[in-house]
Amino acid sequence: MAMTRRFGLHHVTMLSTDPVETLRFYREVVRLHLVKRTVNFDAPDIHHLYFGDAGGRPGTLLTFFPFTDAARGHVGGGAAAAISLAIPAEDMETWILHLVEQGVDTLGPTERFGESVLRFEDPFGLALDLIGREGIGAATHPVLAGATLLSQAPAATEALLVRLMGFELAGEERGLRRFVVPGTGESLDLAREGAASPVETGAGIVHHLAFRVPDEAGLGEIRAELVAWGLDPTPVLDRRYFRSVYVREPGGILFEFATDPPGFAVDEPPERLGTSLQLPPEFEPRRADIERRLAPLTPAG
Ligand code: ZN
């Protein structure tokens, strides 16, 4: 069967703690836009904050669950060890100066697969890799470009990426095997060795990676293929801004498949994305209660 599928990333979702600090860091330091303020649909007493480009396009999105009392997690098998963000190669010096000005410690730049990589951490311990990339043109913000994955079963993870999801092996370097989705500019770097210990989830840990599916029909197809693969995906869930299926891949990493439509303009005008708390209709009757329980998003005082 010809593999024509192209699953680029839709979003990545992480755990943090303080929502005010999450907002400050990802807007002022990472220079992304807040494109949606909502709640965790499974635990509506905490926020779900979405950052991305100004339009909140799928593929640009980093999202956070700020669990205010979460302990710091520890990276291990069954999680992403780092998130990659691409910037124009010629902007690397500017970014180093910006991060120094912001008081952020950096490591590098080092070279990985022929590109310059600058590593830093968010305030919660999440590793972020700024990739200096040729030919991506001027950019006002970094663009989600992939992740480094630690699998508990690398061969099984690789089989799923390549045979079911259309990734192609692009190279191997220092224990990392790079998989790309041709045409998206994105890559997943999979550690060749299985991780010694499993991830301990908590602040600074990637909760899941979501991949783009064009529509709900496509979501149904991938769900059926995951079942045929012997995995146990969730039913199709309504995440308001997209429809989703989640599945724990064989190496322990939580994957999500998410539709591009309907997008973030479904409940507020495109020019006002992220400016006010949006709740799905079923939570609206409880808005006052939910707002009271949410940690404030603006600094106290
Ligand atoms: Zn998600």
The reported pLDDT for the residue numbered 22 is 98
Distance from the alpha carbon of residue 210 to the mean position of ligand 1, in angstroms: 6
Ligand 1 centroid to 93 CA: how many Å? 32
If one counts the domains in the chain, the total is: 1
Ligand 1 center to residue 12 CA distance, Å?
6
DSSP readout, 58-119?
Answer: TTSEEEEEE-TTPPB-B--BTEEEEEEEEEEGGGHHHHHHHHHHTT--EEEEEEETTEEEEE
User: Does residue 203 sit within a domain?
Assistant: yes
Show the domain range for 192: 9-293
Q: Which two tokens stand for residue 287?
A: 């808005």
- The answer to the question of residue 1 being in a domain is no
Whether residue 298 lies inside any domain: the answer is no
Is residue 287 in some structural domain?
yes
Position 210 confidence tier, pLDDT thresholds 50, 70, 90: very high
Rounded Cα distance, 150 and 198, in Å: 9
Residue 4 resides in a domain: no
Q: Who contacts 22 (Cβ-Cβ below 8 Å, separation ≥6)? A: 16, 49, 64, 66, 124
- Ligand 1 centroid to Cα of residue 174, in Å, is 30
The predicted pLDDT at position 5 comes to: 65
Model confidence at 166: pLDDT above 80: yes
Distance 203 CA to ligand 1 centre (A): 16
Quote the pTM value. 0.95
The answer to the question of residue 3 being in a domain is: no
Distance 14 CA to ligand 1 centre (A): 9
